[in-house]
Amino acid sequence: MTRLRSTLLGGLIAVSAVIFLAYIGLYFFDFGLFVTLPEAITRIFVENPFLMYVALALLVAAMLAKIRTDRAMRRERSGEQN
């Protein structure tokens, strides 16, 4: 269960980071994922800029949860070795 949670959190971190960095690229540098993808795909993100903050919050929360999950995995492994 802990390994599955760690994997899911890793995926959430990756997706959140990609979305957040796509917003940064669009607003500050006018390049990146949202400029490259078709307008039909990026429209929901461009029309709702608050999603950038949602992605950032998810990124931070997932990183903190992953730290705790990885510590729990290490404790489980060290308990099995004894």
Q: Which carries the bigger pLDDT value, residue 56 or residue 82?
A: 56
Domain total in the chain: 1
Q: Does 6 map to a domain?
A: yes
Q: Does 63 map to a domain?
A: yes
- Domain limits for position 9: 2-77
pLDDT tens by residue, 39-76: 999 999 999 999 999 999 999 999 999 999 999 999 98
Q: Does 66 map to a domain?
A: yes
Q: Does 32 map to a domain?
A: yes
Q: Does 25 map to a domain?
A: yes
- CA–CA distances in Å: residue 37 to residues 17, 31, 42, 71, 81: 17, 11, 7, 38, 49
Q: Is the pLDDT of residue 80 over 90?
A: no
pLDDT at 82: 60
Q: Does 45 map to a domain?
A: yes
Q: Is the pLDDT of residue 81 over 80?
A: no
Distance from the first to the final alpha carbon of the chain: 21
Q: Does 82 map to a domain?
A: no
